[in-house]
């Protein structure tokens, strides 16, 4: 099957409203995988963004507040690494579309439950240690559900074409931008919450955020069913045309293969995939390992103008703003890879691996910023310098990870290899996140 076949063969109009709106099948598919990309990262962002709520939920147990973020990340990354490896070995006869739907269905159930815990008195009054255990179990189950959906998604887009891999990457970046925006708006609108008499209250804001995660997953499943339905209709339409025209030389294979359900027939070993994708997967590993230093600096570097009267320079706004800047850079890097004329997409694996290693230079550069506010003066006394570093760090992450995932299919010889490569790449992604979280802990200890 040719690369990005969906954009060339049978790209019919699937929705038309007068002359105002016309949606083609390829556009519907791109939008579907964009939403799926958002849904894949939303659960992680939910647990991460809810750290402020759990800071008040565990107000009577300070030790639990301190370990929430680190425990959540450890449980999530370790579960993802183990389960992604397991899924990568379960290949033969797997229907990857069903794997995606199962993952999202589990996520819907998990986050409806999580939403209920924010507004139901029985959970609010529950023993802190017991509730913390339930919370970590939900993190573990959520990580497993995301692995199912991610494994299936990457297998599908590797077969369908690189433009759909790009849509998943862009969707994940969008999911990274939204929480930062929401946090800044909420602080500007209502300010920081103060808790009186250590009384824990219902939090409808987090409730809505958790419910939104379920709704995004519901939308993803609905869109997947919709494009699956279009597949069957397209095959019927194509066969009907052939019978009418009676052209025996027509390339039926292209049309059928494009709409075929992604089900792997033969097992492909890791050694075979490594021989073809080693530089690409090592780029993925190194990219995410190094990228996880950004939250460490983003959470401790404060504005050099913190004594200013402008509210922007206050750390309650400045720190979320830096997260937003990094995520916007990441989003920009991913989007630009989808435009061939800009030549942002890196197709040479050797260039990718060199680029990924070179990002280590950002670490000493970040140390020139205000890493110890109130204790020592920064080497570069400029907020603009720090903002520019975070923006470039985000762009480089978006460009590297998107380029890596978009070119995987081009280095595989057949659909079985492309499908197996979906699990293969996510294994290295998971281990990259795991290594990055360990490295970030060491960096935190050094900075303290």
Residue range 283-329, pLDDT digits in tens? 999 999 999 888 888 878 888 887 777 777 787 788 888 888 999 99
- Determine phi and psi for 59, rounding to 5 degrees: -60, -30
Residue 444 pLDDT class (50, 70, 90 cuts): confident
Summarize pLDDT for 332-380 with one digit per residue, the tens.
999 999 888 888 999 999 999 999 999 999 999 999 998 888 788 889 9
**Helices (H), ranges, 50-161:** 51-57, 62-89, 96-119, 121-124, 128-160
The more confidently predicted of residues 407 and 266 is 407
What is the residue whose two structure tokens read 């919709």? Answer: 226
Helical (H) or strand (E) element with 22: strand 21-24
Residue 5 pLDDT class (50, 70, 90 cuts): very low
Q: In the chain, what are the domains?
A: 1-265 (1.20.1250), 268-448 (1.20.1250)
What is the residue whose two structure tokens read 């739907």? Answer: 101
Length in residues, the chain:
448
pLDDT of residue 85: 92
| Short-list 208, 266, 259, CA closest to 237 | 259
> Is pLDDT of 122 > 80?
yes
Lowest-confidence region among 116-120, 192-196, 317-321, 434-438 = 192-196
> Is pLDDT of 256 > 60?
no
Q: Please state, in angstroms and rounded to a whole number, the distance separating the CA atoms of residues 424 and 429.
A: 9
Mean pLDDT across 131-145: 94
Buried b (16+ CB within 10 A) or exposed e, 103-130: bbbbbbebbeebbebbeeeebeeeebee
pLDDT of residue 243: 43
What is the residue whose two structure tokens read 């052939």? Answer: 242
Most confident of 82-91, 180-189, 230-239: 82-91
Tokens read off for 248 = 């025996």
Residue 259 pLDDT class (50, 70, 90 cuts): very low
Mean pLDDT across 167-196: 74
Tokens read off for 243 = 């019978």
Q: Please state, in angstroms and rounded to a whole number, the distance separating the CA atoms of residues 21 and 3.
A: 27
Residue 253 pLDDT class (50, 70, 90 cuts): very low
CA dihedral 270, 274, 278, 280 (to 10 degrees): -60
**pTM for this model (two decimals):** 0.79
The more confidently predicted of residues 145 and 293 is 145
CA dihedral 129, 130, 132, 134 (to 10 degrees): 170
Per DSSP, the residues of 416-441 read HHHHHHHHHHHHHHHHHHHHHHHHHH
Q: Give the CA angle between residues 335, 336, 337 to the nearest 5°.
A: 90
Q: Characterize the bridge pairing of strands 13-17 and 21-24.
A: antiparallel
Radius of gyration for the chain, computed over Cα atoms and rounded to the nearest angstrom: 23
pLDDT of residue 244: 46
pLDDT of residue 182: 72
**Helices (H), ranges, 191-269:** 204-245, 252-259
User: What are the angstrom distances between the C-alpha of 43 and each of 138, 140, 165, 368?
Assistant: 10, 11, 20, 34
Residue 107 pLDDT class (50, 70, 90 cuts): very high
Q: How many of the other CB atoms lie within 10 Å of CB of 372?
A: 15
| Short-list 165, 433, 197, 444, CA closest to 301 | 444
Write down the mean pLDDT value for the chain.
Answer: 82
pLDDT of residue 237: 45
pLDDT of residue 250: 37
Mean pLDDT across 122-134: 91
């Amino acid at each position: 099957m040719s690369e990005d076949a969906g954009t060339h063969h049978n790209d019919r109009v699937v929705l038309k409203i007068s002359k105002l709106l016309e949606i083609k099948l390829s556009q519907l598919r791109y939008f579907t995988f964009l939403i799926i990309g958002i849904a894949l990262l939303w659960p992680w962002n939910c647990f991460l963004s809810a750290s402020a709520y759990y800071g008040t939920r565990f107000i009577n147990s300070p030790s639990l507040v301190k370990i929430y973020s680190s425990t959540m990340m450890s449980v999530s990354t370790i579960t993802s690494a183990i389960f992604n490896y397991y899924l990568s070995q379960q290949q033969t006869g797997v229907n990857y579309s069903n794997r995606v739907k199962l993952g999202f269905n589990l996520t819907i159930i998990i986050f409806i439950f999580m939403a209920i815990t924010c507004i139901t008195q029985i959970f609010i009054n529950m023993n802190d240690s017991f509730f913390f255990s339930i919370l970590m179990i939900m993190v573990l189950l959520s990580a497993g559900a995301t692995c199912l959906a991610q494994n299936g998604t990457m297998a599908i887009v590797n077969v369908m074409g690189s433009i759909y891999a790009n849509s998943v990457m862009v969707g994940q970046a969008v999911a990274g931008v939204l929480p930062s925006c929401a946090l800044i708006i909420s602080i500007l609108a209502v300010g920081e919450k103060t808790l009186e008499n250590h009384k824990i209250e219902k939090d409808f804001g987090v409730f809505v955020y958790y419910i939104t995660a379920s709704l995004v997953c519901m939308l993803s499943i609905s869109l997947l069913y919709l494009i699956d339905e279009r597949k069957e209709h397209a095959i019927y339409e194509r066969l009907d045309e052939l019978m009418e025209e009676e052209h025996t030389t027509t390339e039926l294979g292209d049309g059928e293969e494009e709409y075929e359900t992604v089900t792997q027939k033969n097992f492909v070993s890791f050694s075979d995939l490594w021989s073809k994708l080693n530089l690409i997967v090592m780029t993925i590993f190194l990219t995410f390992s190094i990228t996880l230093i950004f939250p460490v600096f983003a959470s401790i570097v404060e504005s050099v103008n913190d004594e200013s009267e402008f509210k922007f320079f206050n750390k309650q706004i400045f720190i979320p703003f830096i997260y937003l800047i990094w995520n916007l850079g990441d989003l920009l890097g991913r989007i630009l890879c989808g435009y061939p004329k800009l030549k942002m997409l890196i197709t040479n694996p050797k260039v990718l691996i060199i680029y990924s290693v070179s990002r280590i230079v950002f670490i000493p550069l970040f140390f020139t910023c205000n890493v110890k506010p109130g204790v020592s003066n920064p080497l570069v006394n400029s907020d603009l310098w720090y903002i520019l570093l975070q923006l470039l760090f985000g762009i480089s992450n978006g460009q590297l990870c998107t380029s890596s995932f978009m070119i995987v299919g081009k280095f595989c010889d057949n659909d079985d290899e492309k499908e197996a490569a979906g699990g293969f790449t996510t294994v290295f992604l998971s281990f990259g996140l795991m290594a990055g979280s360990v490295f970030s802990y060491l960096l935190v200890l050094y900075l303290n």
